[in-house]
Structure 1
Amino acid sequence: MLEQTAEVIKTASDGIWVQAVEPSNCGTCGGKGCGSRRIAELFQRKPRHFLVDCDLSLSPGDRIVVGIARGNVLRSALRVYGLPLGLMLAGALLAQSVRPGDGPAVIGMLLGGVAGGLAARGARSVRPVVLRREDISVFHMKKG
């Protein structure tokens, strides 16, 4: 199970909206700040919010731990990237076999890509779930 600390942003009828909380310092970079985090901040200006399933009674500002099964991440990646790519190749090959030439292959590839994109978008995605509340006392013990 992959876990991430998050903060509750708002509650909804079908779950809660959360924002990932970055750890303050993991020690790997010597306290100078994570280089990969800085690169990510260049491309993403505002924090992203995610809808997660929740059985707990939570309010905005609560810190929680959300999780998702490892296999679900791989299946989602294959659905989002693999399905459109596979249908693009299949469309190009099918069009090429019906009518040889680059033009029909490109049209078949585009049609396969659109079909793959629609199929990937229409599938139900697995949402992360709230595993537990974050223990605040752990943060106080580490600092002092």
Structure 2
Amino acid sequence: MTEAWGTITAVDGDHATIRMDEAGCGRCGEPGGCGGNIHGKLFCSTPRTFRVPNPDHCAVGQRVQVGIFAGSLRHSAVHAYALPLLMLLAGALTGSACAGEAGAIAGAIAGLFVGWLGLRRVQRQSLRDPHLQPTIRS
């Protein structure tokens, strides 16, 4: 499980909005860390906030540890990067076989659109899977 610290900024029924203190898992200074925290601060200066289920009814201003299952990061990354790219390439190859260069361009655009639609479908399914959602650990 990957964990990071955040502060609750709002509570809405059974959910809490959490502003994350770090951009990564917090292992930047440790051996084997990827440095995601450094890159996150460089490219995303606005605070990252997430709406998370709040079963313990934590209060606003409380500092909490948020965790996500290890497989959920891989699942999200594969779908977010690989699915649109594979659909783009499949569309380009199909279009090229049917109509040459113009077909490859049109096929790539169509494939990217199909990949985007597939990504939206996976996202909707992921919202219903509790193993793919962040949870308040403490």
Length-normalised TM-score, structure 1: 0.74
Check conservation: 1:7, 1:20, Cα contact below 8 A: yes
Check conservation: 1:51, 1:127, Cα contact below 8 A: no
Check conservation: 2:83, 2:115, Cα contact below 8 A: yes
Shift of the alpha carbon at 1:94?
1.3
Percentage of pairs with the same residue = 31
- RCO greater where, 1 or 2, for CA within 8 Å and sep 6 or more? 1
Partner of 1:72: 72
Uncovered stretches (5+) of structure 1, i.e. residues with no partner: 29-34, 133-144
Shift of the alpha carbon at 1:39?
5.4
For the aligned residues, what is the CA RMSD? 2.3
Query: Is 1:97 matched up with 2:106?
Result: no
Check conservation: 2:14, 2:57, Cα contact below 8 A: no
Shift of the alpha carbon at 1:19?
1.0
Partner of 1:142: none
Check conservation: 2:52, 2:134, Cα contact below 8 A: yes
Partner of 2:32: none
**Measured at CA, do residues 88 and 38 of structure 1 come closer, stay the same or move farther in structure 2, by a change above 3 Å?**
closer
| Secondary structure of 2:54 counterpart | coil
Which structure 1 residue ranges, 4+ long, deviate > 4 Å from structure 2?
A: 35-39
CA distance in 2: counterparts of 1:14 and 1:73, whole angstroms:
24
Check conservation: 1:7, 1:21, Cα contact below 8 A: yes
Letter in 2 for 1:104: G
Partner of 1:119: 118
CA distance in 1: counterparts of 2:48 and 2:90, whole angstroms:
35
CA distance in 1: counterparts of 2:67 and 2:38, whole angstroms:
24
Shift of the alpha carbon at 1:37?
5.1
**Measured at CA, do residues 120 and 98 of structure 1 come closer, stay the same or move farther in structure 2, by a change above 3 Å?**
same
With 113-122 and 70-79 compared, the bigger mean Cα shift is at 113-122
Check conservation: 1:5, 1:65, Cα contact below 8 A: yes
Q: Say which one has the larger Rg.
A: 1
Per-residue Cα deviation, 1:66-120 (whole angstroms, up to 9, x for no partner): 1111111001011111110111111111112222x11110110111101111211
Length-normalised TM-score, structure 2: 0.77
With 79-88 and 12-21 compared, the bigger mean Cα shift is at 12-21
CA distance in 1: counterparts of 2:55 and 2:133, whole angstroms:
13
